[in-house]
Amino acid sequence: MALLKSNKVIHCLGNISPALGALSSRNSSWWSGVQMGPPDPILGVTEAFKRDTNPKKMNLGVGAYRDDQGKPFVLSCVRKAEALIAAKQLDKEYLPIGGLGEFTKACAQLALGDNSEVLKSGRSITVQTISGTGSLRIGGNYLARFHTGPHDVYLPKPSWGNHTPIFRDAGMQLKAYRYYDPSTCGFDFKGALDDISKIPEKSVIVLHACAHNPTGVDPRPEQWKEIADIVKKRNLLVFFDMAYQGFASGDIDRDAWAVRHFIETGHNIVLSQSFAKNMGLYGERVGGFTVVCNDAEEAKRVESQLKILIRPIYSNPPMNGARIAATILNTPDLRSLWLEEVHGMANRIIKMREQLVAGLKQQGSSHNWQHVIDQIGMFCFTGLKPDQVERLTKEFSVYMTKDGRISMAGVSSGNVGYLAEGIHAVTK
C-alpha cells in the first residue's frame, strides 16, 4: 500500500505543468530583491556615440589617449620591451604578494626621485597593485584598518568619480574641500586653504599630484607650498593620487614636484601610482602603492600588514604589465625612448588645447577661453553648462559628460575646427 501511495504521489507530481514548475523556481530566486543599478555616465556617453550615424561625431568622454588620427596608441618602448621579455622565455609562476621587485623599486624611484632620502634610508614600502584603482583601494583598506585618526577622507570638490566609491566601500567616510572655481574655471586657492584649515586633525586629505581629474586645474608651486604648510599645521595624513606623471607636462620631475616637496618638508605621505596613461598600459593594470614611514623598521611592519590585506583580495598581482614597465624603467635606451614618447603625448594634448582656443577665436567667440590652455593633462573643464552640452550633442554629435568635461585625447588636428565651431554655436 505504501508503494502504491508513493506511486500515486509520483504520478500526481508528474502532471504538474512545466510552466508552474519554472514559476516556482523563479519565485524562490535568491536575487529577486536586487535592484537595477544606475548606468555609468561615461559608458552611457560611449553607447550613445556608437549609435550615432553622423560621420563627424566625436567621443570626448573616455579617458584614454588617442593619436592624431584618433586611434589607440601603443608606445614603441612598450613594443620593444615586450620583444625583450618574449626573447627571454620567462616562466609564468606567481609573483610575490607585494609584486615584482624590480618594478616596485623602479616605481618608487620614478615618483620620489633617484636621490630620495626616503629611498636611501629604506623608510618606505611600495607594493605592486592592480593599476591606480587597485592602489587606491588597497590604500583605503589600509587606512580603514590602521589609521588611528578620524576615518574621514577629504576629497577635492570635484574629484575623480571613482574616488568616492573606492574609499566608501573600504569603510572610510567621505568629506570635501573646495577646489574648483566655476566662475574662473580655475583653482579656488582661497577656498581650498580656508576649508583645509578647518579639517579636524589627523584626518586624511586626498591630493591629485598633477593633472587634476576631472578639471585639469593644478596649483602652482608657490600654492603647493602654502597647502603643504597648512596641511602640516593641521597634522593631516596626505594621500597623493598620481595617475599622470609625465603625461601632464611631459616632464616626469615637474609632474612629481608636489609629491617630493611634501616629503622634503616632513610629510609622511601615502601615494598611489598608475602606469595606464603615461605608458599606455591601460589593460595591463600596472600600479603601485607607497607608504612613507618614520624609519626602516616601521616600513617592514607596514609591508607585513599590506601583504596580509592583499592576500585575500587577489593573492598576488599580474605579471606581464609589471615586467613591461620594469623593463622600460630599468633599460637606459628604453627609458630614454619612453621619456621622448610621453613628452610627445603630453605635447599633442597641449597643442590641441591651443588649437581649440585659436579655433574659437577664429569662429568669432567673444568669451575668454584662456582656461582651456591653462588647464593641464588629459581632461578639460570647458565651463559648458548642461543645456549647452545637450545642444552640442544633439546638433553636432559631440559627446561628453554633462558637467562639460572633455577628454582632450579625443581632439585631433582633423576635428578640432569642428569642435570649435560647435562650442561657439552653443555659447554665443
C-alpha cell at 148: 588611528
Within 8 A by CB and 6+ apart from 210, the residues are 218, 242, 244, 245, 248, 249, 254, 255, 256, 258, 376, 377
Active site residue 40: no
C-alpha cell at 397: 554629435
Residue 214, preceding peptide bond in cis (omega within 30° of 0): yes
Q: Give the angle subtended at the CA of 363 by the CAs of 388 and 372, to the nearest 5°.
A: 60
Active site residue 277: yes
73 vs 61: CA distance, rounded Å:
17
Q: Give the angle subtended at the CA of 375 by the CAs of 374 and 381, to the nearest 5°.
A: 125
Active site residue 120: no
Looking at 57, 80, 160, 224, which residue is catalytic?
160
Looking at 188, 218, 241, 255, which residue is catalytic?
241
CA distances from 162 to 41, 174, 182, 222 (A): 12, 12, 21, 29
What backbone torsions phi and psi does residue 230 show, to the nearest 5 degrees?
-70, -35
Show which residues are catalytic: 160, 241, 277
